[in-house]
Structure 1
């Protein structure tokens, strides 16, 4: 049964040969995802590290309280997001000029430099801040390139699964970060600097792995074709697909990409950057750009980064006090998030699809957040009045309940959606907007959460619940399903004017069915008459 679930469901215009679904494309995705491991480890370790007695003593957190402590905590965490925001803007230029591979390797090197500053800080908040900015910049830049690179190299039938590896590796690394903190807190003296230096030093592993593994991977064939390096692109695509260069599927895929790029070139010949930017907000493009930006913002407003970065403090707020207890509960949170994400990205995402995954997941997230908000209000937990009774244990359960439903929905789908819906010609520019929105959303949430927990207490969770309610309506009415479509077929989907998302996909499927009969990638307007026949026949 598991093997059957793993088997791809290829509904693209030209089903791929079995050889295409080989280990090479998975190795490519895992290698690039070492960049998301950097991000994941930071999510897992930094919040817990700030609660370690040795760190609090060395950096003076144990002598602060109230808004001053909240400010220092917010600065340490959020400078990472600030670096990520600006780097995600700048990297687009280099990804277009140098390809996808070299910028990813540079991100690994930049990350390692930032780690050196953090480990060497030794109580200097300024050095710690500088290191956080650099590691944030490395993650921000790589977070734009990784989904783009994997998407451009993936067969349509398993594209969601492969881009999902970005999120799977992130979650595995975050679990490592959570449990490293628990381990050093349990087994290393709270007066020793080694206690906080171990989790900070282990960041080196992920940046170094990104550099080494990416040297073994090919450049994106789509980027090579865009640079008119057809022979080299065919060679790289042949390697990734595990098929001979003269195989008809390789020739079809290369030709398909070339046709799309040629059409874009005809429409936008000699265009400047500003004309390309204008195209991003033109008909057929702005709806996907706004949806991508909206999904990235809503992912953060769901409250996940409040839990990721401040989960030890949140567990304390519902009555589970003591560093070891809160770190243990945080570690379990990380394990559940990781395991659910991996299982769903492997078995569910390309079967259930993007749209219904978000709808189902949102319902679970809303229920959990409303309960946690009600419990913290009624129990007086933010005033230290909560007891370890049935309500408190139910609140812990609801955090884990939230984690399960978040993992199958908002965790990875915004990244998948943004990586697959934009055409090659403007993909990098559109991803700048969506990725910047991700980091802006993260900055807002991680910077404001300490203040929200101090000043509006239970309202913090109420705010996150209300945000997901808004997201649920947006997804249900405005987000079309994208599973199973090739990157080139996304233009057909978004060229269809439709108010209701579900009707948009039905019409696109009719056009694509007609396309399969006609053969090749042709203009959707030329096929519209045939699509109507297909719909009527159905």
Structure 2
């Protein structure tokens, strides 16, 4: 009954990509919210187990669409220098909803009838309806509008977001940058999943791995199973107290994400979570009278570390790094990975608890270490980089005149920043972010090649905080 929601979410997170590309971000959000509300009604009015399973599945279908489209919409309407702030703010809203559900559960546990569980289930209906109505007020993504040749509407949305007239230079600068990116992306032609995997395999694997390790790093194990002696209403109370700390921990990334970048936050979070999981496993292993209290302390520390790092960033990162023609499909794959991993963790954790006991937490601490290694060697820094400039960051700009010989690859590598210069010339000097050097595009598609390159690169590239991509001074170039 619990896991069927993840199954519904997995299915629609994949199917929603075509809906988002065909009908738009706002329409997809609206359908997802309505599905979620319908599923909530079925659950609230359920007459038995079978009906409850159906309701959970329908709600899961709504969750899958929303969890795929909302991060895309958030990324596409956010300015580059505040994209991290707005993405982290969105995640805090998510955690406020989670914490509210726990405290509503706790309050309703005192009701002496089946309304003790019908009331909490009914709350989600109103949340979905508010979002569905709000989708009529929210504007469509300007990038989607321009990509579908609704340029006038896209320009109007940009003007509204900036609070300036449509002929204001800053409004026109952003419009021209998005329009240039759309025209360049149209050279791709084929927008299928096969083309996505062929051209942007590295980005797809990075996006999927970020969501995979958000689950393998142990959040659901901690949230659902680390009770260590707390049962019944006391367990709900401890979860509610933990949720308050969870909310507080999600606030610092509002500023840290844009101030220090995505990579340092993920790296620090991996270390802190590995320590907290190891300590949790240790206290469960020694099984003393103080074990329940000690576990609560380390669970709070773990949730704080997760809420500041692997909670918000994996939802922000995939829509950032995916190019516009493939953004919905790429994010659908990463989101589907999240729900598949979520399902796997939920189903296997009780079995692992029986088989390996306290070692389960050590296992997830190991995954935290693996995630640290992946981020260190493979994840580039996206802080402050406009969505239309991600091609230069990854070094895989597409051109209809690409040649397969090595000399063409080298020429493309040496001149990749000219794309940024061409766009920057229209806006005027000083307004374009520094371009990024890269190795040939064919090396980008090999993760092994990237690891090898990262291990043997010079220190200056790492100090730049962008993986193996080093910022170049325009004057020096």
Q: Do both share a fold (TM > 0.5)? A: yes
CA deviation map 1:94-139 (0-9, x unaligned): 11111111111111111111112111223x1111111111111101
Post-superposition offset of 1:459: 2.3
Alignment of 1:211-290 (within 5 A): 211-265=132-186, 267-269=187-189, 271=190, 273=191, 276-283=192-199, 285-290=200-205
Note the aligned Cα RMSD (angstroms).
2.8
Partner of 1:504: none
**Long gaps (5+) in structure 2:** 398-413, 440-469
Partner of 1:488: 388
Residue 534 (structure 1) aligns with? 473
Give the 3-state SS of the residue equivalent to 2:252 in structure 1: helix
Q: Distance in 2 between matches of 1:394 and 1:508?
A: 57
Which of 159, 164, 176 is equivalent to 2:83?
159
Please give the alpha-carbon distance, in whole angstroms, between the structure 1 residues aligned to 2:232 and 2:438: 63
Post-superposition offset of 1:235: 1.0
What do residues 477-522 of structure 1 show as CA deviations (whole Å, max 9, x unaligned)? 111111000001111100079xxxxxxxxx9999899779755589
Work out whether 1:292 is the aligned partner of 2:292: no
In the TM superposition, what is the alpha-carbon distance from 1:324 to its structure 2 partner?
2.1
Q: 1:509 to 1:404 in 2, by over 3 A?
A: farther
For residues 312-371 of structure 1, give each alpha carbon's deviation from its aligned partner in whole angstroms, at most 9, with x where no partner exists: xx21xx233x41221111001111111211x22322211121000001111110001011
TM-score, normalization: structure 1? 0.74
| CA–CA distance in structure 1, aligned partners of residues 262 and 471 of structure 2 | 26
Q: How far apart, CA to CA, are the structure 2 residues paired with 1:237 and 1:482?
A: 22
Change (3 A) 1:354 1:525: closer
Alpha-carbon distance between aligned partners in 2 of 1:534 and 1:347, rounded to the nearest angstrom: 26
Find the partner of 1:340 among 218, 228, 249. 249
Tell me the residue number matched to 1:134: 58
Alignment of 1:179 with 2:103, yes or no, is: yes
User: CA offset at residue 453 of structure 1?
Assistant: 2.4
Check whether the contact 1:305–1:446 (CA below 8 A) recurs between aligned residues.
yes
Aligned length: 427
Cα distance change of structure 1 residues 147 and 532 upon mapping to structure 2, 3 Å threshold:
closer
Residue 119 of structure 1 corresponds to 44
Tell whether 2:339 aligns with 1:439. Answer: yes
Residue in structure 1 matched with residue 275 of structure 2 by the alignment:
367
Query: Paired residue for 1:207?
Result: 128
Give runs of ≥4 in structure 1 deviating > 3 Å.
507-528, 531-538
The separation in 2 between residues aligned to 1:155 and 1:437, in whole angstroms, is: 27
- The 8 Å contact of residues 496 and 508 in structure 1, kept in 2 or not, is answered as no
Distance 1:247 1:373, change over 3 A: same
Q: 1:523 to 1:358 in 2, by over 3 A?
A: closer
Q: Contact 2:9–2:65 at 8 Å: present in 1 too?
A: yes
Query: 2:360 is matched with which residue?
Result: 460
Shift of 1:422: 1.0
TM-score for the superposition, normalised by structure 2: 0.83
